[in-house]
């Protein structure tokens, strides 16, 4: 006891108890959360039942559920929703296929593996606005490198009603596949090597081994990757906002932005934000249920 | 069932030489135990036979066929590992079915069910068939792991310390079961262990590995009674063989510690540096015996007591009947059974009988 003080008693000699230290960490965090998350969340819930406009000094009237019923009856918003849903499916599936594929390729001893992995992670470390801007250059119809490289003539990726959504999705896939790859790689390298050896001794084919051993073992972590990417894809704003103004490709968050800050319909915009929140919660809940099942198996 | 032969096998990992010029032959239906310390090269040998590693030099034959270029699947071996290697998230039944369901085999569902049930019965794990393997105890897991090995009747069974992770009672029980299983199947077993008790109890033949070299092969009896050198003498037997340096003078062994013990009939070895080896059970404590020693430690094992004696600089161990009453620091007289004394060269440590 003379020389080896336990951490708590060492802190005590400096006058800080464990509780003080804990509070020092926790209180600022909780304060920040309340000021910047919890308060706006509740405040905007209040707005969603009013005709409040942040741009005017007109008196605020309580309108009940009118904002919600208006939004749910608006075909423009419904189109935005279905566009967003399709965007989420395309983008997340793409990220999953590319990311998991890369992870499978990287999950073996290859020279320069660490360097290669770092290199592949670069896209997701960039700012979305920067990514959006330079993909805009890549997609440029007259001198963009994509049309030049693929010999597609003057394809107008970002202004074509049918292509704009996919163009944004491709950018998103490029940016976020590394994330799926990173999580998959962690999952794959956690599969014990002796299981593969046992399977090879048991004369299982590569494909059989993949479906019977690899996939079930990495499924939970893959699902986590998909949950994260779905939530993010649902909220996609920055990339799309920078890249295209195509109304056919308008995602729900762009619509929300326009309502809130171009048209200053603060009340209805708050209502829409809540509808989006509830949808995202529902979708993630479904995933979480699958995740628990996958873990149980 | 199969005959295995390793010819001039060497294996290095980078700069580390794991195996050096290994020759080994395992007869059809033999229970062969490879005994050695951690890092002696046991597991490497096993993995080479399994086809999980390729030898740096040398050839491996199974039933006379050179299997050097064959993968693990083609060699038709089964492997049981210390860490069980059961497929997680599946039930016991699914684990047992796994080797039968691989596309290479194509057994009918009825056949598979019959096979699995037969194996489950043999290993007494029928009641566990529908349980997830994550919910099994260590002993149950190892049974399932053995079951997965025997379910498809491979040519060779390879076992890498399968019992080491189990507690003592279970280890003993499974040891007997495994041996019975091998006898019933008439299968060729290559069993790797660091536990000399396991080796002695189960092996038809034992191969002692040290630093990547095969030191001695033979039946447990040969290895125990006639170890090829002092290393094997110390490696096999619990407690190990007692070794005393000394010389032979006119029918008497004179140890470096000054003990004089009778040893007739070994005259040709007189006058050179020797190491006398004697098993603990062949050391006798009796009044009036020529050797003098003091009791250093007493271990009561129930069936017998193991007495550690201090005789000069030597610590000797003797097994005596458990009713013998002795006290620590008591002065005792001891002798040995001269017929059982093994002579080793004092410098090289090689058994002089083997040296010729």
Supply A148's token pair.
């030049």
Whether the ω angle into residue B239 lies within 30 degrees of 0, i.e. cis, is: yes
- Does one domain contain both B319 and B196? no
| Contact call for B99 and A203, based on CB within 8 A | yes
Which residue from B minimizes the CA distance to A192? B85
**Domain co-membership, A157 together with A93:** yes
Cα–Cα distance for residue pair B238/B194, rounded to 1 Å? 13
Calculate how close chain A gets to B116, using CA atoms only, in Å: 15
Identify whether the C-beta of residue B181 lies closer than 8 Å to the C-beta of residue B119: no
Q: Are residues B218 and B329 in the same domain?
A: no
pLDDT tens track, chain B, 356 positions: 689 999 999 999 988 999 999 999 999 999 999 999 888 899 999 999 999 999 999 999 999 899 988 888 888 899 898 888 898 888 999 999 888 887 666 778 888 898 899 888 888 888 999 999 888 888 889 889 988 988 888 889 999 998 888 888 888 888 888 898 899 888 899 999 999 989 999 999 999 999 999 999 999 999 999 999 999 999 998 899 999 999 998 888 888 888 889 888 888 888 889 999 999 999 999 888 888 899 999 999 888 999 999 988 889 999 999 888 889 999 999 999 998 999 999 899 999 886 54
Token pair belonging to A264: 């200053």
pLDDT of amino acid A1: 40
Query: pLDDT tens for residues A254-272?
Result: 889 998 888 898 999 999 9
For the record, the structure tokens of B284 come out as 């006798």
Residue from the list A197, A212, A217 with its beta carbon closest to the beta carbon of B52 = A197
In angstroms, rounded to a whole number, what is the distance separating the alpha carbons of residues A255 and A250? 7
Query: What average pLDDT does this structure show over A135-147?
Result: 89
Same domain, B75 and B176: yes
Interface test with B, best of A192, A197, A203, A215 (most B CBs within 10 A): A203
CB of B145 closer than 8 Å to CB of B86:
yes
pLDDT for res B355: 55
Chain B residues touching A205 at Cβ < 8 A = 102-104
Which residue on chain A is closest to B82 by alpha carbon? A194
User: Are B160 and B299 within one domain?
Assistant: no
Does residue A188 lie in a domain region? yes
Same domain for B213 and B346, yes or no, is no
Would you call A212 an interface residue with chain B, using a CB distance cutoff of 8 Å? yes
Question: Are residues B200 and B279 both part of a single domain?
Answer: no
- Residue B22: exposed, middle, or buried by beta-carbon count in 10 A (0-12, 13-18, 19+)? buried
**Tokens in use for A96?**
């999953």
Mark whether A143 and A174 lie in a shared domain: yes
Q: What is the least distance, in Å, from the CA of B75 to any CA of chain A?
A: 8
Average pLDDT for chain A: 88
The answer to whether residue A56 sits within a structural domain is no
Domain edge (last residue) among B214, B235, B256 = B235
> Cβ contact (<8 Å) for B73 and A217?
no
Strands B331-336 and B291-300: antiparallel
Q: What is the rounded CA–CA span in Å between residue A252 and residue A236?
A: 8
| Biggest alpha carbon–alpha carbon distance for chain B | 76
User: Which of A132, A87, A128, A77 lies closest to A259, judged by CA?
Assistant: A77
Burial of A85 (0-12, 13-18, 19+ CB in 10 A): middle
Shortest alpha-carbon distance between residue B78 and chain A (Å): 6
Q: Based on the domain organization, do B108 and B184 belong to the same domain?
A: yes
Give the one of B85, B87, B102 whose C-beta lies nearest to A203's C-beta: B102
Interchain proximity B87–A297, CB inside 8 Å: no
Query: Which residue of B71, B99, B116 to mutate against A (max A Cβ within 10 Å)?
Result: B99
Say what the pLDDT of residue A2 is: 46
Pairing state between β B291-300 and B304-311? antiparallel
* CA distance to partner chain B, nearest, from residue A229 (Å): 26
Considering only CB atoms, A194 lies closest to which of B83, B103, B152, namely: B83
A to B CB pairs, distance under 8 Å: 60
Q: Is A241 within 8 Å of A191 (Cβ atoms)?
A: no
Q: What pLDDT was estimated at residue A4?
A: 52
Nearest CA in chain A to B134: A297
Pairing of strands B205-210, B188-193: unpaired
pLDDT, tens digit (0-9, with 9 covering 90-100), for A232-247: 999 888 888 888 887 8
Residue A14: pLDDT band with limits 50, 70, 90: low
Q: What is the count of structural domains for chain B?
A: 2
Assess A205–B contact: CB distance below 8 Å, yes or no: yes
Q: What is the CATH number of the domain that holds B295?
A: 2.40.50.140
Q: Which two tokens stand for residue B157?
A: 């069974």
* Spatial CB neighbours of A18, under 8 Å, sequence gap ≥ 6: A8, A11
- Is residue A214 assigned to a domain? yes
Pair A250, A80: CB distance under 8 Å: yes
Asked if B191 and B82 sit in the same domain, the reply is yes
CATH number for position A95: 1.10.3720.10
Predicted pLDDT of residue A175: 95
* Residue A201 located in a structural domain: yes
Is A194 in Cβ contact with B89 (below 8 Å)?
no
Q: What is the pLDDT of residue B240?
A: 92
Regarding whether A37 and A124 lie in a shared domain, the answer is no
Burial of B108 (0-12, 13-18, 19+ CB in 10 A): exposed
Q: Whole-angstrom Cα distance, residue B55 to residue B61?
A: 12
What does pTM read for this prediction?
0.75
Domain membership of residue A62 (yes or no) is: no
The arithmetic mean of pLDDT across residues A153-165, rounded, is 85
| A21: its two tokens | 């230290």
Claim to verify: residue A99 and residue A212 sit in the same structural domain: yes
What pLDDT does residue A9 have?
A: 53
What's the 3-state SS for chain A? Answer: CCCCCCHHHHHHHCCCCHHHHHHHHHHHHHHHHHHHHHHHHHHHHHHCCECCCCCCCCCCCECCCHHHHHHHHCHHHHHHHHHHHHHHHHHHHHHHHHHHHHHHHHCCCCCCHHHHHHHHHHHHHCCHHHHHHHHHHHHCCCCCHHHHHHCCCCCCCCCCCCCHHHHHHHHHHHHHHHHHHHHHHHHHHCCCHHHHHHHHHCCCCHHHHHHHHHHHHHHHHHHHHHHHHHHHHHCCCHHHHHHCCCHHHCCHHHHHHHHHHHCCCHHHHHHHHHHHHHHHHHHHHHHHHHHHHHHHC
Query: Which candidate from A195, A205, A217 shows the least CB-CB separation from B102?
Result: A205
Q: Is there a single domain that holds both residue B83 and residue B196?
A: yes
A74 lies in the same domain as A41: no
How many other C-beta atoms are found inside a 10 Å radius of the C-beta of residue A297?
13
- Same domain? For A41 and A106 the reply is no
Cβ distance of A194 and B81 shorter than 8 Å: yes
Does residue A5 carry a pLDDT above 60?
no
User: The domain spanning residue B165 has which CATH number?
Assistant: 3.40.50.300
Task: Select from A192, A201, A208 the Cβ nearest to the Cβ of B77.
Answer: A201
Closest-CA residue of B relative to A294 is B89
Mean pLDDT of A206-217: 88
Q: How confident is the model at residue A40 (pLDDT cuts 50, 70, 90)?
A: very high
Tokens of B44: 């490497």
Q: Per the structure block, which two tokens stand in for A194?
A: 């002796």
The torsion angle over the Cα atoms of residues A142, A143, A146 and A148, rounded to 10 degrees, is 90
Last residue of a domain, one of B201, B235, B269: B235
Together in a domain, A12 and A137: no
B98 and A204 within 8 Å at the Cβ level: the answer is yes
Looking at B184, B200, B235, the residue that finishes a domain is B235
Both B279 and B144 in a single domain?
no
Q: Is residue A54 part of a domain?
A: no
Q: Are residues A155 and A211 in the same domain?
A: yes
The alpha-carbon gap from B123 to the nearest alpha carbon of chain A, in Å, equals 19
**Token couple for B288:** 């009036």
Tell whether B30 and B157 lie within a shared domain: yes
Q: What's the complex ipTM?
A: 0.76
Would the CB atoms of A203 and B105 count as touching at under 8 Å? yes
Q: Are strands B31-35 and B274-278 parallel, antiparallel or unpaired?
A: unpaired
B76, B85, B104: residue with CB nearest A195? B85
For residue B105, what are the domain limits? 4-235
Cα gap B198→B220, rounded to integer Å? 11
Task: Please enumerate residues of B whose Cβ is less than 8 A from a Cβ of A.
Answer: 50, 52, 71-73, 76-79, 81, 83, 85, 87-89, 98-99, 101-105, 148, 152
Residue of B nearest to A208 (CA): B102
Integer Cα distance of A246 and A252 in angstroms: 13
Interchain contact, B99 vs A194, CB within 8 Å: no
Give ∠ CA A269-A238-A66 in degrees, rounded to 5: 10
pLDDT digits (tens, 9 = 90+) for A57-103: 888 889 889 999 999 999 989 999 999 999 999 999 999 999 999 99
Task: Phi first, then psi: give them for residue A107, nearest 5 degrees.
Answer: -85, 55
The span from the CA of B260 to the CA of A57, in Å, is 116
Does residue A198 sit at the B interface (CB-CB below 8 Å)? yes
Statement to judge: residues A129 and A164 lie in one domain: yes
Band of pLDDT at residue A105, cut at 50, 70 and 90 = very high
Q: Are B158 and B49 in contact (CB under 8 A)?
A: yes
Sequence-distant (≥ 6) Cβ neighbours of residue A56 within 8 angstroms: A264
Closest residue by Cα to residue B165 from B136, B142, B189: B142
Give the total number of structural domains in chain A.
2
Verify whether the Cβ–Cβ distance A212 to B103 is below 8 Å: no
A292 vs B: CB within 8 A = no
Residues A132 and A277 in one domain: yes
C-alpha distances out from residue A59 to A50, A62, A263, A289, B143, Å: 10, 10, 18, 45, 78
Both A134 and A228 in one domain: the answer is: yes
3-state secondary structure chain B: CCCEEEEEEEEEECCEEEEEEEEEEECCCCEEEEECCCCCCHHHHHHHHHCCCCCCEEEEEECCEECCCCCHHHHCEEEEECCCCCCCCCEHHHHHHHHHHCCCCCCCHHHHHHHHHHHHHHCCCHHHCCCEHHHCCHHHHHHHHHHHHHCCCCCEEEEECCCCCCCHHHHHHHHHHHHHHHHHHCCEEEEEECCHHHHHHHCCEEEEEECCEEEEEECHHHHHHCCCEHHHHHHCCCCCCEEEEEEEECCEEEECCCCEEECCCCHHHCCCCEEEEECHHHEEECCCCCEEEEEEEEEECCCEEEEEEEECCEEEEEEEECCCCCCCCCEEEEEECHHHCEEEECCCCEEHHHHC
Which structural domain, as residue segments, surrounds residue A36?
7-47
A217 touches chain B (CB under 8 A): yes
- B96/B207 same-domain check: yes
- A124 and A36 part of one domain: no
Query: Which of B90, B356, B30, B11 lies closest to B217 in space, CA to CA?
Result: B30
Q: Answer for the pair B263, B253: CB distance below 8 angstroms, yes or no.
A: yes
């Amino acid at each position: 006891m003379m020389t080896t003080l336990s951490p708590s008693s060492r802190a005590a000699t400096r006058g800080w108890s464990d509780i003080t230290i804990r509070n020092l960490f926790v209180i600022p965090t909780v304060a920040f959360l309340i000021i910047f998350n919890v308060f706006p969340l509740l405040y905007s819930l209040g707005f969603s039942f009013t005709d409040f406009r942040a741009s005017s000094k007109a008196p605020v009237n309580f309108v009940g559920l009118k904002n919600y019923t208006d939004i749910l009856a608006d075909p423009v918003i419904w189109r935005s929703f279905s566009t967003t849903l399709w965007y989420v499916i395309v983008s997340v599936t793409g990220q999953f296929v590319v990311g998991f594929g890369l992870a499978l390729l990287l999950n073996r001893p290859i020279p320069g593996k660490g360097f290669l992995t770092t290199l592949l992670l670069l896209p997701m470390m960039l700012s979305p606005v920067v990514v959006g801007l330079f993909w805009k250059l890549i997609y440029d119809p007259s001198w963009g490198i994509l049309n030049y490289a693929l010999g597609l003539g003057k394809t107008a990726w970002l202004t074509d009603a049918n292509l704009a959504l996919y163009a944004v999705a491709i950018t998103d896939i490029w940016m976020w596949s590394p994330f799926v790859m990173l999580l998959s790689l962690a999952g794959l390298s956690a599969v014990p090597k002796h299981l593969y050896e046992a399977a090879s001794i048991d004369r299982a084919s590569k494909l059989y081994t993949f479906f019977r051993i690899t996939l079930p073992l990495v499924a939970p972590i893959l699902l986590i990757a998909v949950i994260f990417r779905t939530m993010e894809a649902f909220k996609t704003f920055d990339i799309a906002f920078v890249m295209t103004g195509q109304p056919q490709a308008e995602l729900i968050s762009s619509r929300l932005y326009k309502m809130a800050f171009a048209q200053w319909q603060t009340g209805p915009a708050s209502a829409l934000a809540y509808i989006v929140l509830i949808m995202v919660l529902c979708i993630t809940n479904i995933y979480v249920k699958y995740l628990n099942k996958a873990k149980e198996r | 069932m199969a005959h295995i032969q390793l010819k001039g096998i060497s294996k290095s990992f980078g700069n580390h030489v794991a195996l050096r010029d290994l020759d080994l032959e395992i007869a059809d239906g033999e229970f062969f135990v490879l005994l050695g310390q951690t890092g002696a090269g046991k597991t490497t040998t096993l993995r080479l036979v399994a086809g999980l590693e390729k030898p740096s030099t040398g050839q491996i034959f199974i039933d006379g066929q050179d299997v050097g270029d064959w993968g693990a699947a083609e060699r038709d071996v089964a492997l049981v590992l210390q860490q069980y290697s059961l497929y997680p998230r599946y039930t016991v039944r699914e684990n047992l079915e796994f080797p039968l369901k691989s596309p290479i085999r194509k057994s009918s569902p009825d056949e598979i069910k019959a096979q699995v049930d037969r194996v489950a019965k043999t290993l007494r794990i029928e009641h566990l068939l529908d349980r997830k393997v994550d919910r099994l105890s260590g002993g149950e897991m190892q049974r399932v792991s053995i079951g997965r090995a025997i379910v498809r009747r491979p040519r060779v069974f390879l076992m890498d310390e399968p019992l080491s992770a189990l507690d003592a009672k279970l280890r003993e029980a499974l040891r007997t079961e495994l041996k019975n299983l091998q006898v019933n199947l008439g299968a060729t077993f290559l069993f790797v262990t660091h536990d000399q008790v396991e080796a002695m109890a189960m092996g038809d033949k034992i191969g002692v590995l040290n630093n990547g070299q095969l030191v001695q092969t033979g039946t447990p009896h040969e290895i125990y009674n006639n170890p090829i050198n002092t290393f094997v003498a110390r490696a096999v037997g619990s407690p190990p063989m007692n070794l005393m340096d000394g010389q032979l003078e006119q029918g008497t062994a004179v140890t470096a510690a000054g003990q004089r013990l009778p040893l007739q009939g070994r005259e040709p070895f007189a006058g050179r540096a020797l190491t006398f080896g004697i098993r603990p059970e062949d050391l006798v404590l009796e009044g009036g015996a020529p050797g003098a020693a003091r009791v250093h430690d007493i271990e009561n094992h129930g069936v017998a007591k193991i007495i550690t004696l201090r005789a000069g600089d030597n610590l000797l161990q003797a097994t005596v009947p458990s009713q013998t009453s002795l006290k620590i620091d008591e002065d005792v007289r001891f002798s040995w059974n001269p017929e059982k004394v093994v002579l080793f060269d004092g410098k090289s440590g090689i058994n002089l009988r083997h040296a010729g």
